[in-house]
Amino acid sequence: MTTEQRPGEPATGSVPVAEALPTGEQPEAPVAIIEPEEHEPSGPAALHEREDRPAAPHEPSGPAAPHDPERLSDEALEAELDALLAEPAPSVPHPAPRAPRAVLGIGAFLLSLLFSLGTGIALALFFAESLDAATIVAFTAIGLTTASFAIGLLAVILGKGRGWGAAAMAISLISNPFVLVVGLGAVQSWTG
């Protein structure tokens, strides 16, 4: 007996095709309902039991049948495996070692520390009353601290050591002799 399932009906039983559709309607797609036999358990336990049971004779199980044209003989499989193993493995290029991302910021920070020493030397020469040497060192320190400020700003903008770059900018700004002279002059005029 051929059975079909009506849309919206649960698949609990079978209905003859003649009773499934009103007269004149054609089925959209035939759906066969397979009812469990009375001696077979149904539900989740049945699935477990069916998995444990050996396959029926008509169901294929295990490797492909010997008459299958796509099945390779053991010798052919071994030859193909040997050919694959004999080929050299493709070489994957290793990425070149990269410099740390913060290299620009760290470099600006170290330069700002080094150039702030120039300001200290210029002040020491000034207090030693060697004004010509102090002037030369001070102008050099102005240029170098401005350069380290610019490198720190570049590190902040590019994101290559933002923290280090910001610290380099602060140190360069504070240790710039021109900024020191202007800043100390402003403090002196306020305290007056």
Residue 17 Cα distances to 1, 8, 24, 27, 34, angstroms: 9, 16, 12, 9, 14
Radius of gyration of the chain from its Cα atoms, rounded to whole angstroms:
44
pTM over 0.85: no
Token readout for 3 is 């059975």
Residue 127 Cα distances to 85, 91, 131, 162, angstroms: 80, 66, 8, 37
Interatomic CA distance for residues 192 and 190, integer angstroms:
5
Q: Which amino acid is at 175?
A: S
Q: What is the pLDDT along the chain (192 residues), one digit of tens a residue?
A: 455 555 655 555 555 555 555 555 555 655 556 655 555 555 555 555 555 555 555 545 555 555 555 566 778 778 887 877 777 766 777 777 766 788 999 999 999 999 999 999 999 999 998 999 999 999 999 999 999 999 999 999 999 999 999 999 999 999 999 998 898 888 888 887
Strand partners, 3: 16
In the prediction, which pLDDT does 184 show?
85
Residues 6+ apart with CB under 8 A from 115: 141, 144, 145, 147, 148, 172, 175
Nearest CA to 176 among 137, 124, 141? 141
